[in-house]
Structure 1
Amino acid sequence: MNIMNKIRLALAVAVLTLSTATSALAQAPLKIGYTSVEYVLSQMPESKQIESDLKAYSTQLEAQLKSKYADYQTKAEAYQKSASTMQEVVRADKEKELTGLQSSIQEFQRSADQSLQQKQQTLLKPALDKLQKTIDQVAEENGYTYVLNSDGASPVLLHGPKEGDISDLVLKKMGVTPGAAAAAKVTPAASTATPAATTTPSKTKVKTKKN
């Protein structure tokens, strides 16, 4: 699996359409830069280790799936050879067992796909956090107002001034109080992270309040 083809699944960022820039922004001096996230990630030393770890994890899942399928084939072949001589109650029991094995294989395939995606996000998170931090530093040091991702057909906002973030205004427009959900999570009952929470990328500047 090529990690770089799925980078956009790990990046939750807002699309910036330059044609809709407001007159206020147009009056202010803007310095716009761009970068290829896929290219930079591919050049980072972490990339090879991420690929290696993900491949190893995928191989483990594939081995488990093959084992389950081999068990099913063995029992299916045994059933076919002796089905005609089986008593009806025994035959029904064997058919039920085979049906259960089929369902188990299908469920494992679905679970493995989800697990692989979660593993990918977990492995990518440190590299993406490092990349975002570096983008912010380079933008601030060199006076860039916006940094766009040049990958894909549409440019994507990777850095922008705080006053340009309209996330809270959008939430209020929908009747949602900004920060309320985050505050509700800071309670004794919710202080312990669940497995799912530990594999979910934490919000960085560009990911704030994006779905």
Structure 2
Amino acid sequence: MKKLFKVALIAGCMILLMGNFAKAQTKIGHIAFDQVVGLLPELATVKTQLAAYQKTWSDQLGTLNTEYQNKLNDYQSKQATMTDAVKSLKQAELTDLGKRFQEQQSNAQQQVDAKTNELSKPLIDKVRAAVTAVAKEKGYAYVLNSTQTDLLVSPDADDLMPAVKAKLGLK
């Protein structure tokens, strides 16, 4: 009786282990995420809005640069006739204007980056939702971004691009 119990216990454990092994097999897919975002028709609107936003910053920087160049040219042309006190004052003014230009340039880049993130977020969220839905429908546990993954060795995976494009209504 004890032998029969042991055999049944071992058989039950083996069945349990085999079930867990089968469960451990997960499906992996991949997609070129940036490529899908690039196919969205809304991207043209985002690019137009970003170009207009960048132009406002570019115009402001251009005005500041013109002011700096004018003052620099004026300083250089009159430098020989200036007193030491006036030279020192003009040099300080040019240095201050140069610093303001650099700060404005840095601020402009930060603002443009923030605006890019703000305008791109809905597109990224839309594609991410479609990828998530397709992965769930098809039973994928993991989906890798094939444009940003540096895996040297990886198991075979399925390309989800056609299914996600269909989900988003893209050709």
1:43 is displaced (CA, Å) by 0.7
Structure 1 equivalent of residue 26 of structure 2: 30
Which residue among 145, 148, 169 is the counterpart of 2:144?
148
Q: For 1:68 and 1:29, how far apart are their aligned partners in 2?
A: 62
Which residue, 60, 63, 77 being the options, matches 1:64? 60
Q: State the one-letter code of the partner of 1:86.
A: M
Q: Counterpart of 1:34 in 2: which secondary structure?
A: strand
CA distance in structure 2 between the partners assigned to 1:25 and 1:64 by the alignment: 63
1:186-197 alignment to 2 at 5 Å?
none
Q: Distance in 1 between matches of 2:35 and 2:150?
A: 16
Structure 1 stretches of at least 4 aligned residues deviating more than 4 Å after TM superposition: 24-27
Which AA in structure 2 matches 1:59?
Answer: K
Q: Note the aligned Cα RMSD (angstroms).
A: 1.9
Out of 76, 91, 94, the position equivalent to 1:98 is 94
TM-score (norm 1): 0.57
| Structure 2 gap segments, 5+ residues each | 1-19, 152-171
The answer to whether 1:41 aligns with 2:37 is: yes
Q: Deviations over 1:150-174 (max 9, x none)?
A: 113426xxxxxxxxxxxxxxxxxxx
2:110 corresponds to 1:128: no
SS at 1:145 equivalent: strand
What's the offset of the Cα at 1:122? Answer: 0.8
Query: Identity of aligned pairs, percent?
Result: 36
TM-score, structure 2 length as denominator?
Answer: 0.70
Distance 2:135 2:91 in 1: 64
Find the partner of 2:71 among 72, 75, 78: 75
Shift of 1:44: 0.8
Q: Render the CA deviation track for 1:35-62: whole Å, top value 9, x for unaligned.
A: 1101100111221112222222222211
Write the letter of the residue equivalent to 1:31: K
Distance in 1 between residues matched to 2:123 and 2:36, nearest whole Å: 10
Q: CA deviation at 1:63?
A: 1.4
1:74 positional shift: 0.6
More helix by share: 2
Give the structure with higher Rg (CA): 2
Whether 1:115 and 2:111 are equivalent positions in the alignment is yes
How far residue 121 of structure 1 moved from its aligned partner, in angstroms, is: 0.8
Q: Relative to 1, partners in 2 of residues 1:145 and 1:90: Cα closer, same or farther, differing over 3 Å?
A: same
Q: Residue 204 of structure 1 corresponds to which residue in structure 2? A: none
- Partners of 2:141 and 2:78 in 1: how far apart? 75
- Count of paired positions: 132
State the one-letter code of the partner of 1:131. Answer: V
Structure 1 gaps of 5+ residues are 1-23, 156-211
CA separation of 1:108 and 1:26: change in aligned 2, threshold 3 A: farther
Which amino acid in the other structure matches residue 53 of structure 1?
Answer: Q
Q: In structure 2, what is the Cα distance between the partners aligned to 1:33 and 1:72?
A: 55
Equivalent residue number for residue 89 of structure 1? 85
